[in-house]
Structure 1
Amino acid sequence: MSERLAPKVGIVSCLAVLLLLSLPYFFAPATAVSVYYETIPVPVHLLDTFFALVALIAFGSGLQDRSDRASVAGVTLVLGIFMAVITLWWAVVTPSATIVEAARMDSLSGHRWALAFVTLGVPASAGWYARSVL
């Protein structure tokens, strides 16, 4: 049961990361969002998007038995850990008023912590998947 449920949770986690990454673009000007995401030297939004898309494809491949489940679990676990570490670093370093000052958007003040929390779902589900297939 958990061999099928864990990758489904991983897919939902990846989709949630992608949704939260794109959310500021709907509420703030693109220039403000670029300032918001570029507070660290690493392009967090680009890396998280790339890692989430690769993990999404890998979880789907493992779910439909198109790839070795243990390999998929390992790949998604590593991608999820990198994604979570980069996002947590960005969330800690980014001042709370960056997006609020740049875009005058008070509704996005907790966005960075929500994104950091959601990215933790990817390595958690990948670890669960690894535990169930090994």
Structure 2
Amino acid sequence: MDAERLAPTIGLIGSILLAVAVAVPAVAVEASNGQMAAYYASGPVGLSIVGMLALLEVIVFLSGRQNRTDPATAAGLGVVLSLSMLGLAVLWSVSIDPTVLFSFEQQYAWLSYHRWTVIGAAAVALVGGVGYARSIL
């Protein structure tokens, strides 16, 4: 598989993983009194914007990979979106209030590791975006 197909595939997989990672707590956690809303709204911009950018990047990688848009434009957008997602994910993860993070019941203790999963998925998307831009340009 050549780099022009492999790199956007990696970015695509990273973006899908990131969108799923952002959505999992909203689906899997039964929280009361707005705990989940406070979790997603933590930090300066919150986590929801990262999930929205991940879904947008899926479209960018698919359109570039299928030659439905200019590959250089798709590669540039992929890098910018990936870098933005990683930056926002890191900003969210370091600025989340510990009282919000640890306020969930014991069965949801995995939420304390969720932020690192989000950062990891965003990093995979960035690797794919940078690789795609490097192969195109």
Q: Same fold (TM over 0.5)?
A: yes
1:14 alignment counterpart: 15
Distance 1:90 1:43 in 2: 6
Secondary structure of residue in 1 paired with 2:110? helix
Q: CA deviation at 1:29?
A: 2.9
Q: Which deviates the most, 99-108 or 78-87?
A: 99-108
Distance 2:103 2:65 in 1: 43
User: Alignment length, in residue pairs?
Assistant: 133
1:59 alignment counterpart: 61
Secondary structure of residue in 1 paired with 2:77? helix
2:115 alignment counterpart: 112
Q: CA deviation at 1:102?
A: 3.4
Distance 1:50 1:22 in 2: 10
Asked if structure 1 preserves the Cα contact closer than 8 Å seen for 2:10 and 2:127, the reply is no
5+ residue gaps, structure 2: none
Secondary structure of residue in 1 paired with 2:52? helix
5+ residue gaps, structure 1: none
Residues 12-63 of structure 1, C-alpha deviation per residue, up to 9 Å, x if partnerless? 1111001101111233235222111212131321x11221111100100111
1:37 maps onto 2:40 in alignment: yes
The residue type paired with residue 93 of structure 2 is A
1:79 maps onto 2:72 in alignment: no
Give the direction of change, closer, same or farther, for the CA distance of 1:23–1:106 in structure 2 (3 Å limit).
same
Secondary structure of residue in 1 paired with 2:103? helix
Q: 1:70 aligns with which of 62, 66, 72?
A: 72
Secondary structure of residue in 1 paired with 2:67? coil
Asked if structure 1 preserves the Cα contact closer than 8 Å seen for 2:11 and 2:128, the reply is yes
- Moved >3 Å (runs of 4+): none
The residue type paired with residue 43 of structure 2 is I
